[in-house]
Structure 1
C-alpha cells in the first residue's frame, strides 16, 4: 500500500491483493460479529408499537464486542449502585442499535470501495471518514485479541503465536495514521 493522497475532495491509494484480502476479511469478521449482536437482541413489543428501536440492556460478554460496544454510562469503581446499573442498561438499550447500524454501515463502505483483487482505492471525504471508523474497529478488535498495551514491544519473538498478527495490527495503524494525515492535508 502506498500512502494516501488527497487531491481536492478525493483521497486515493493503491492496495495490493494480499492487503485487500486481509482488510476485507477482518472487516467482514467484525461486521459479522456486530450483526450477530443485533440479531440476538430480544424483540420488544413496545418498540414494535412505537417504532423506537431498542437494543440489548447488558454489555456483551465477548471481550472484542465489549471493546467495540462499551458502556454508555461510566460505573462507579467501588461497585455500581442499582441506579447506575439501571441507567447503563437504559442507555445501552436506546443507543446500541444506532451504534451497531453505524459500525455496519462503515464496514459496508470499506467492502464496497476496497477492490477484492487490489488496485486503486478512490474515496470521497465521507467515505474516507467511514474507512477511519472501520479500520479503528478492526484495530480495537485485533488489539484486544493480541493484548496490545502501551509497553508491548514492536516485535515479538518468532515463536510467539501473536507475532504475525502484531504485524497486521501495525500495518492497520500505519494505514489509519496516513489516512488521517491525508484527510487533514489542506490543499
Structure 2
C-alpha cells in the first residue's frame, strides 16, 4: 500500500489496498462502531425524527471504558454538574457522528469491491474518495488511532519500548497496526492538502 494520493485529473483522493489491508481496516472500523453503539442507547424507529432531535436524555456520567473516556473526555473536569449537563446534551450526537464516519469507511470499502467474506488471495481494492468522504475517513482514522493507543497504553516517547518487542509479540503486531493507521492518516492529510 502506497498511501493516499490526489489524482491530478479528477482531484479524487485515491488509494489501493490489498484485500488483507482493506479487510483489516473494515474490521477496525466495525469494532469501533460496536464499541460506540454498545453503551449507547439503541435508536428506535418508532420515534418522531423531530422528537428524537430534541431528546436530550443522553448519558450524564463518564463512560466506564477507557477508550470511550478518551473519545468523549470530560468537558469540565472541575465542575461535575456542568460536565454532566454538557455530556447529556452532546455525547449522543458525537457517538452517532463517530459511528456514522466508521460506517462510511466500511461502506466505501465494500462499494469498492471488498466482499463481505475475504476469500481471494491477491485481491486489490481501489478506493476513490471525494473531498467530503476523505475528510470523514480522516476523522474516523483519528478515532481508530485513539482507540488503539488507549488499549495499547501508547505514550509519547515510548518508541524504544515498542521497537524492543519481538516480532511475534501480539502487542508489537497491534502497535504496527496503530502505526499503519497513522501512516494512512498522514498520507490522507497530505493528499487533501494538494490541489
**TM-score bin (small chain):** 0.7 to 0.9
Q: Secondary structure at the match of 2:2?
A: coil
The Cα shift of 1:15 comes to: 0.5
- For 1:69-84, list aligned pairs within 5 A: 69-73=72-76, 75-76=77-78, 84=79
What is the CA RMSD across the aligned residues, in angstroms?
A: 2.2
Alignment partner, residue 174 of structure 1: 183
Alignment partner, residue 32 of structure 1: 34
Aligned equivalents of 1:49, 1:163: Cα separation in 2: 43
Aligned equivalents of 2:15, 2:71: Cα separation in 1: 27
Aligned equivalents of 2:51, 2:164: Cα separation in 1: 51
TM-score, L = length of structure 1: 0.85
Aligned equivalents of 1:49, 1:134: Cα separation in 2: 24
Alignment partner, residue 108 of structure 1: 103
Unaligned runs of 5+ residues in structure 2 are 44-49, 116-123
Q: Deviations over 1:64-92 (max 9, x none)?
A: 1111111122x23xxxxxxx101000000
Alignment partner, residue 148 of structure 2: 142
Q: Which of 75, 82, 85 in structure 2 is aligned with 1:87? A: 82
Q: How many residues align?
A: 173
**Equivalent residues of 1:155, 1:166 under 8 A apart:** no
Q: Secondary structure at the match of 1:155?
A: helix
Unaligned runs of 5+ residues in structure 1 are 42-46, 77-83
Aligned equivalents of 2:53, 2:12: Cα separation in 1: 41
CA change 1:139–1:181 in 2 (3 A) is same
Alignment partner, residue 52 of structure 1: 55
The Cα shift of 1:49 comes to: 9.2
